[in-house]
Amino acid sequence: MEMKIENHASGALRIHLDGRLDTVGVDGIEIRFEAAVASSGRDVLVDLSDVSFVSSMGVRLLISAARAQRLRGKRQTVLFQAQPPVAATLAMVALDQIIPIVADEAQALARLTQQN
């Protein structure tokens, strides 16, 4: 699992994930991912366009980060551009009831604007 962290022009933190969010993938990024989200103090956009698989460990990582954001007030995490197999897994576990999941980056930014 590869992870790229950038500052988005909107002021949000943008995290691009590439690979499998399974046990091995999560182990490879968990500390950096959680540290980036926790220390940012900003909304977080998570780009799932290059994630090919999500296991329960990946779902746990995403939920943990989103909950940490909510504890900081109005900050939130938005997931976007999940490929069909990943989107199906996220829908099956009803992750959208906890974390906003949208089709693309423009919708993710719009979601942040609505909430702030």
Is 116's pLDDT higher than 60? Answer: no
Is 72's pLDDT higher than 80? Answer: no
Domain boundaries, the chain: 2-115
Q: Which CATH class is domain 2-115?
A: alpha beta
Closest C-alpha to 89, from 43, 114, 58, 49? 58
| Higher pLDDT among residues 69 and 2, named by residue | 2
Structure tokens given for 116: 């702030």
Tens of pLDDT along 17-44? 999 999 999 999 999 999 998 888 899 9
Judge whether 43 and 9 are in contact, CB under 8 Å: no
- Looking at residue 74, what is its pLDDT? 62
CA–CA separation, 32 and 35 (whole Å): 5
| Higher pLDDT among residues 83 and 73, named by residue | 83
Is 115's pLDDT higher than 80? Answer: no
